[in-house]
Chain A
Amino acid sequence: MTTTHVSGTTAGMNPETARRMRVTITAILAYGVLIVGALAMVMPFIFSIANSVKTLPDITANPMLLTPTQGFSFAGYQKILSGDFARWIFNSGIVAISVTLGHVVFDSMAGYALARIKFPGRNLLFAGVLGTMMVPGIVLLIPRYLVYVQLGMVDQYSGLIIPVLADAFGIFLMKQFFASIPIDIEEAAFIDGAGRFRMFFTVILPMAGPAITALAIFAFQGAWNDFTGPLIVINNNQSLFTLPLGLANLKGTGTGQTLPWDLLLAGALITTLPMAIIFFAFQRFFMESATYTGVKG
């Protein structure tokens, strides 16, 4: 669709004028499509925000209106935050932060060793790590539950955190990164008499800023949004729900128009907010790293 090279002439028109007209028409069409597309992506959130500050009858009667007809109402937010929901925000935060720290330390360590330290079985281990990436999450749900029972992790914070402290994709990402740094740095540190361990934490890791940021964002996003993991770990103890699990539970099994939408919209938006903030703060990393990951599960 590059219009700059087209040299067609429209009858009776100066070629340059015709070219400009084509450029303008193409531009208008392109912007039109993009604006419609962008609105389709964003409007669901905008409507949700607008309706989350209305009364429930107002939401049901006038969902299309961006301003309330019966005055602003924060009842949805008040109701949801006065229940267990506040606790679930805390749980999600603790879990996501712990998991992120775990990934940063353990995935980096493993990635570094697989890239830079020669030891027997290294290639086999790396192939095994990559192999685990192909296992669909659903296959693991049933036997993982069994492991959680054996290790006493059901209905525990440990069950929400420990199983996901490291992951294959993060190891892969960090291995690729460490393979690309120059060897001179390690050499210099060795001459200073540093062992691998000290060198890694004082010299190598601080250099890995951008890779660590990407890794941390992935880890946080994965942990914050994860639904199936907590679904299996937490059986009876509602006070240990994370936000997605709690939100799904609040929604219950109803499908229709009678659900408490003020409450649910408030809940969905609070669940979305932290990721939205991180997204806008670290956009560049999201855009670059999105091309690695493919479809979110």
Chain B
Amino acid sequence: MAIETLSTTKAIPARRSFLAGKTTQEWLAGFGFVTPALLILGIFVLIPMIAAFLISFTNWTGQQTLDKAQWVGLNNYADLLTNDGTYRNGFFEALKNTAYYALGVVPMQTLLSLFLAMIVNQKFLKLKGLFRTAFYFPSITSSVAVAVIFLWLFNRNGIINATFNMNVTWTNDLHGLFHNFLGLFGININTVPASITHTKVLGQTLWNWISGPSVTMFSIMLLATWTTAGTLMLIFLAALQDIPGQLYEAASVDGATRWQQFRNITLPLLSPTTFFVITIGIIGSFQVFDQIYVISGGGPAGTTNTVAWIAYRNAFKDAQAGLGAATAFALFVIIILFTLAQRRIMGRANR
């Protein structure tokens, strides 16, 4: 994250001379300058953050005043994680959907953006700027506007079906991708052992876990890849341009093939960037919300319920703000874990 670059820019030390005897004035000026921004961050980020944590231990509905809410201790978290019931089923369904989403989107967007960056980085290439512009353009547009455009492209009479001569109800198809794939080999819910369709793990049958993301979720994954690849490509491109050209020259003098150069020079030198791209990809994927809101609203049959979406739905549609806050906090913990893992691994790599 941008935070990593902090240590690279050091503040120029203030010289004593022209500030001598102005300490109090300086303090006042310092506080004065930061106050407006701190008030806004304090009232609209810090206080809500603490409030969210407290609310997650209450049964607040979100529709009464807060003083009518009661403390329920860890009940909301127990409902999500341990108590067998609809809340836990819903949470793990959302977690499963979100994990599949991330497992699809992160590799797709990382590989695609690296591939595009490698090509755009070629020295002989003309019109670089034009290609960069085209790839980056989807990233600057409103998530709602591009979701509407995608919904149209993927509707039954839409361009995707027409182009590939298919008749898929992309935006309303609950069947899992792996379910469909296994079905090609005659493996389906009727032919697998009953234990797979009956054994439930965390509220989902084994078959549910195996089925994979639904066709509708898959179209949302394509949308995410399409909007993000351009940004990630620019990040890779900046890193590629930092690799000294002499390394490749020396390697080719030594007779290294292009593939060997890629394996032994490009990939290792790119690995901090790759790691960064994967981490922000995971963090972004786990928060997917706007596209779900516009395209599917969690449907069909809950197959596009994501963690962020059910947190919102609990709080603002189902009058369960306490449970929603707990869901959001569970998501926060997941994201923090990914961030810390990144720090840790990056720290080790730098040592």
Question: Which of chain B's residues 247-299 have a Cβ closer than 8 Å to chain A?
Answer: 248-249, 252-253, 258, 276-277, 280-281, 283-284, 286-287, 289-290, 293-297, 299
Q: Is B124 located at the chain interface by the 8 A CB criterion? A: yes
Question: Which of chain B's residues 283-322 have a Cβ closer than 8 Å to chain A?
Answer: 283-284, 286-287, 289-290, 293-297, 299, 308, 311-312, 315-316, 321
Question: Which of chain A's residues 191-224 have a Cβ closer than 8 Å to chain B?
Answer: 191, 195-197, 200, 221, 224
Q: Is B228 located at the chain interface by the 8 A CB criterion? A: yes
Q: Is the CB of A256 within 8 A of B171?
A: yes
Q: Is the CB of B29 within 8 A of A196?
A: yes
Q: Is B194 located at the chain interface by the 8 A CB criterion? A: no
Question: Which of chain B's residues 119-166 have a Cβ closer than 8 Å to chain A?
Answer: 119-120, 122-125, 129-146, 148-153, 155-159, 162-163
Q: Is the CB of B36 within 8 A of A142?
A: no
Q: Which of B15, B32, B149 contacts A265 (CB 8 A)?
A: B149
Q: Is the CB of A256 within 8 A of B134?
A: no
Q: Is the CB of B11 within 8 A of A115?
A: yes
What are the interface flags for B233-250 relative to A under an 8 Å C-beta threshold, 1 for contact and 0 otherwise?
011001000000000110
A138 to B116, CA, bound (A): 32
Q: Is the CB of B41 within 8 A of A132?
A: yes
Q: Is the CB of A179 within 8 A of B37?
A: no
What are the interface flags for B14-49 relative to A under an 8 Å C-beta threshold, 1 for contact and 0 otherwise?
110111000001110111111011101101111111
What are the interface flags for A67-92 relative to B under an 8 Å C-beta threshold, 1 for contact and 0 otherwise?
00000000000000000000000000
A221 to B142, CA, bound (A): 9
Q: Is A291 located at the chain interface by the 8 A CB criterion? A: yes
Q: Is the CB of B144 within 8 A of A248?
A: yes
Q: Is B210 located at the chain interface by the 8 A CB criterion? A: no
Q: Is the CB of A34 within 8 A of B280?
A: no
Binds A, one of B71-79, B80-88, B177-185, B330-338: B330-338
A248 to B171, CA, bound (A): 16
Q: Is the CB of A268 within 8 A of B33?
A: no
Q: Is B90 located at the chain interface by the 8 A CB criterion? A: no
Q: Is A93 located at the chain interface by the 8 A CB criterion? A: no
Q: Is B349 located at the chain interface by the 8 A CB criterion? A: no
Q: Is the CB of A119 within 8 A of B31?
A: yes
Give chain B residues whose Cβ lies under 8 Å from the Cβ of A269.
Answer: 145
Q: With A48-B149, A147-B47 known to touch, is A114 a contact of B226 (CB < 8 Å)? A: no
Q: Is the CB of A110 within 8 A of B37?
A: yes
Q: Is B9 located at the chain interface by the 8 A CB criterion? A: yes
Q: Is A11 located at the chain interface by the 8 A CB criterion? A: no
Question: Which of chain A's residues 157-189 have a Cβ closer than 8 Å to chain B?
Answer: 162-169, 171-172, 176, 179-180, 182-183, 186-187
Q: With A112-B33, A113-B30 known to touch, is A38 a contact of B134 (CB < 8 Å)? A: yes
Q: Is the CB of A225 within 8 A of B143?
A: yes
Give chain B residues whose Cβ lies under 8 Å from the Cβ of A297.
Answer: 284, 287
Which one of A61, A143, A248, A283 has the highest number of Cβ atoms from chain B below 10 Å of its Cβ?
Answer: A143
Q: Which of A168, A271, A286 contacts B136 (CB 8 A)?
A: A286
Give chain B residues whose Cβ lies under 8 Å from the Cβ of A109.
Answer: 33-34, 36-37
Q: Is B114 located at the chain interface by the 8 A CB criterion? A: no
Give chain A residues whose Cβ lies under 8 Å from the Cβ of B43.
Answer: 147, 163
A189 → B minimal CB distance (Å) = 9
Q: Is the CB of A287 within 8 A of B287?
A: no
Which one of A114, A120, A141, A276 has the highest number of Cβ atoms from chain B below 10 Å of its Cβ?
Answer: A141
Q: Is the CB of B10 within 8 A of A290?
A: no
Q: Is the CB of A294 within 8 A of B159?
A: no
Q: Which of A133, A180, A271 contacts B144 (CB 8 A)?
A: A271
A249 → B minimal CB distance (Å) = 10
Q: With A47-B153, A295-B228, A297-B284 known to touch, is A132 a contact of B45 (CB < 8 Å)? A: yes
Give chain B residues whose Cβ lies under 8 Å from the Cβ of A12.
Answer: none
Q: With A140-B49, A162-B40, A228-B290 known to touch, is A63 a contact of B162 (CB < 8 Å)? A: yes
Q: Is the CB of A143 within 8 A of B30?
A: no
Q: Is the CB of A247 within 8 A of B287?
A: no
Give chain B residues whose Cβ lies under 8 Å from the Cβ of A183.
Answer: 12, 14-15
Q: With A63-B159, A191-B18 known to touch, is A139 a contact of B332 (CB < 8 Å)? A: yes
Q: Which of A105, A146, A200 contacts B48 (CB 8 A)?
A: A146
The closest CB in chain A to the CB of B17 belongs to A187
Q: Which of A64, A143, A287 contacts B163 (CB 8 A)?
A: A64
Q: Is the CB of B47 within 8 A of A136?
A: no
Q: Which of A34, A119, A140, A255 contacts B119 (CB 8 A)?
A: A34
Which one of B15, B137, B150, B227 has the highest number of Cβ atoms from chain A below 10 Å of its Cβ?
Answer: B137
The closest CB in chain A to the CB of B163 belongs to A64
Q: Is the CB of A255 within 8 A of B231?
A: no
Give chain A residues whose Cβ lies under 8 Å from the Cβ of B321.
Answer: 142
Q: Is the CB of B135 within 8 A of A41?
A: yes
Q: A37-B116, A60-B157, A63-B159 are in contact. List 11 more A-B contacts (CB 8 A).
A: A37-B135, A109-B36, A110-B34, A113-B30, A136-B286, A142-B52, A267-B148, A287-B234, A290-B231, A294-B235, A297-B287
Query: Interface on A for B, CB 8 Å cutoff?
Result: 1-6, 23, 26-27, 30-31, 33-34, 37-38, 40-42, 44-45, 47-48, 51, 60-61, 63-64, 105-107, 109-110, 112-120, 122, 125, 128-130, 132-147, 162-169, 171-172, 176, 179-180, 182-183, 186-187, 190-191, 195-197, 200, 221, 224-225, 227-228, 231-232, 243-245, 247-248, 251, 253, 255-257, 259, 261, 264-265, 267-269, 271-272, 275-276, 279, 283, 286-287, 290-297
Instruction: Name 17 A/B residue pairs within 8 A (Cβ), A-sorted.
Output: A2-B258, A4-B124, A30-B119, A45-B137, A107-B37, A110-B36, A113-B34, A125-B38, A138-B331, A140-B45, A200-B33, A259-B152, A272-B141, A294-B284, A296-B143, A296-B228, A297-B284
